[in-house]
Amino acid sequence: MSTDLATQDLAGVVEQVVVGGDLSKLSAKDRLNYYEAICKSVGLNPLTRPFSYLTLSGRLVLYANRDATDQLRKINGVSIEKLERETVEGVYTVTAYARDASGRVDSAIGAVPIENLKGEAKANAMMKAETKGKRRVTLSICGLGMLDETETGSIPDARPAKIDYETGEVLEGNGSLPVHTEPPAEGDDAPLNEDLERSLLLAKVKACADKLRYKADVRARLWDDYVGGDPRAAPLEKLNDLYAHLEGLAG
């Protein structure tokens, strides 16, 4: 492979993993480290499997289970302070307002169509809207920009992906997604704690960028300015600088 092609491949991995959030580009080991790092960055126990995988628009991504939002509320002292309900053109919406232990407030909407629904079906849909609102505001106020499990069923191209949680291997459900399976470079004996620290920092960087609602071009520019290169080998000092910058902006 020529140097130019290798550089293009590397740039593609950076874009898909750091900017696009496509976890299929990671090796099984790196995917496992990333999962554990995401959990540790927000204080969740990875053994309870608070996140699951699905393919969405050709990407392998994580979404939050009920256990994730339940733990996050307890860890961050999140309380749902108010719910506002209304129906507009056959869509029932619930706006949930939350406050965390630091006094920060946030809100999010859960919405479901209820037109032509009656009885138990309508009641279940309305309860689902309330659940959506509560879980979405919990993820938002805790700085996690990801889907909640109540949202995945309504996305046409979303498919569950079966992953071995002990190894990080994709077992099924990834369709034609290319999975990074290249062996580690010869002599690559970096200690596991450094790998985990890098994965943790990458997770924190992504969480801050999600919180700031940065688009892909802004994320890519910041990555080039502060770090550059392969995220799997990014210098910890440079990652710390990028995280400190984003954390200062996110507040």
CATH of residue 87: 3.30.160
Whether residues 137 and 85 fall in one domain: yes
Does residue 199 lie within any of the structural domains? yes
Whether residues 185 and 232 fall in one domain: yes
Whether residues 212 and 241 fall in one domain: yes
Rounded to two decimals, the pTM is 0.62
Whether residues 92 and 58 fall in one domain: no
Here the tokens at position 67 are: 């256990």
Backbone angles phi, psi at 242, to 5 degrees: -65, -45
Does residue 204 lie within any of the structural domains? yes
Does residue 42 lie within any of the structural domains? yes
| Domain-terminating residue out of 118, 141, 164 | 141
Does residue 123 lie within any of the structural domains? yes
Categorize the per-residue pLDDT at 77 as very low, low, confident or very high, splitting at 50, 70 and 90: very high
Does residue 151 lie within any of the structural domains? no
Radius of gyration of the chain (CA): 19
Whether residues 202 and 236 fall in one domain: yes
Whether residues 242 and 188 fall in one domain: yes
Does residue 92 lie within any of the structural domains? yes
Q: What is the pLDDT of residue 91?
A: 94
What string of DSSP letters covers 100-147? -TTS-EEEEEEEEE-TT--HHHHHHHHHHHHHHHHHHHHHHHTT--SE
Q: What is the pLDDT of residue 139?
A: 92
Q: What is the pLDDT of residue 172?
A: 59
Does residue 241 lie within any of the structural domains? yes
Categorize the per-residue pLDDT at 55 as very low, low, confident or very high, splitting at 50, 70 and 90: confident
> What is the mean pLDDT of the segment spanning 153-165?
78
Residue-wise pLDDT tens digits, 95-145: 999 999 999 999 999 999 999 899 999 999 999 999 999 999 999 999 887
Whether residues 94 and 51 fall in one domain: no
Does residue 213 lie within any of the structural domains? yes
Whether residues 96 and 41 fall in one domain: no
Instruction: Give the domain range for residue 54.
Output: 3-62+179-250
> What is the mean pLDDT of the segment spanning 11-20?
53
**Is the model more confident about 181 or about 63?**
63
Domain count along the chain: 2
Q: Strand runs (DSSP E) across the chain, as ranges?
A: 51-56, 59-64, 79-88, 91-99, 105-113, 147-148, 159-160, 162-163, 170-172
Residue 152: name the closest of 215, 85, 45, 65 by CA.
Answer: 65
